[in-house]
């Protein structure tokens, strides 16, 4: 007998393709993002950086090779980047359709360029944009500038004040969501954050049993490299295809 799924705040939850369909195509490329949508992902995920000339671009590490050295993207103009690194605007233009977008804004200086790109190319997407950062106090400062969902990306071991106090702090600061590693989550913890009306996301969900457990415990979104596995678990647990 299948265990009953706990309710999520977001119904249905979002199935985010981590760096596009990373297990199936080169990560953070237009090809990977398009493939993820074809495989059924209801959300896309990437890391975003800003170039020396002010373009928001999608790359994991935020560094590129120049003359044999690794240099930060922030020191390089858009035209000098490798061809496979897309701008956020290019990705949004190349990936029409109905999906959520999670962006890890590792360099907070990229935020204005991110919002500008979304508002120019897909203004309808801003309310389905999830903006993540590892310091929730930095995230709190973004609240006046956007209607996007703001996300505290952390690990349970870093929540020194305890989950309940963190949930209350996020609610007070207008931060919509907490994102933690799959091993940090259980049904009780999901329920706790839901009591404060905070969304819950889980990352690094690669194995079938991890994905099934994530949807069963009521998480509002999951991140996986394996879009095919994720969507099989999604269909089995949510009871419908995307």
Tens digit of each residue's pLDDT (9 = 90 or more) over 200-230: 999 999 999 999 999 999 999 999 999 999 9
What pLDDT, on a 0 to 100 scale, did the predictor assign at position 242? 43
How confident is the model at residue 216, as a pLDDT? 95
The token pair that represents 163 in the structure block: 């989950």
3-state SS, 163-178, equals: HHHHHHHHHHHCCCEE
CA separation, residue 161 to residues 169, 171, 221, 225 (Å): 10, 15, 24, 31
CB count, 10 Å around CB of 3?
Answer: 11
Alpha-carbon dihedral sign for residues 162, 191, 180, 98: negative
Map out the domains of the chain with their CATH numbers: 14-238 (3.20.20.190)
Q: Which residues contact 213 (CB under 8 A, 6 or more apart)?
A: none
Q: What's the chain's average pLDDT?
A: 95
DSSP summary character for residue 232: H
Q: Tell whether pTM > 0.85.
A: yes
């Amino acid at each position: 007998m299948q265990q009953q799924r706990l309710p999520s705040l977001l119904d249905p939850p979002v199935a985010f393709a981590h760096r596009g369909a990373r297990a199936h195509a080169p990560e953070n490329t237009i090809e990977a993002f398009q493939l993820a949508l074809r495989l059924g992902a209801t959300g896309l995920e990437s890391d975003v950086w800003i170039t020396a000339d002010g373009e928001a671009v999608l790359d994991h590490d935020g560094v590129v090779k120049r003359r044999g050295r690794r240099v930060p993207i922030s020191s390089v103009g858009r035209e000098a980047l490798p061809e496979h690194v897309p701008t956020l605007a290019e990705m949004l233009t190349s990936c029409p359709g109905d999906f959520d977008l999670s962006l890890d804004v590792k360099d907070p200086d990229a935020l204005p360029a991110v919002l500008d790109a979304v508002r120019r190319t897909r203004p309808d997407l801003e309310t389905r944009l999830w903006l993540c950062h590892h310091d929730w106090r930095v995230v709190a400062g973004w609240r006046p500038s956007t209607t996007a969902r703001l996300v505290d990306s952390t690990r349970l071991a870093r929540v020194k004040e305890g989950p309940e106090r963190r949930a209350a702090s996020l609610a007070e600061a207008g931060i919509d969501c907490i994102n933690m590693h799959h091993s940090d989550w259980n049904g009780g913890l999901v329920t706790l954050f839901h009591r404060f009306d905070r969304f819950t996301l889980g990352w690094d969900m690669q194995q079938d049993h991890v994905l099934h457990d994530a949807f069963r415990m009521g998480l509002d979104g999951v991140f996986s490299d394996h879009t095919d596995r994720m969507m099989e678990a999604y269909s089995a647990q949510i009871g419908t295809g995307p």
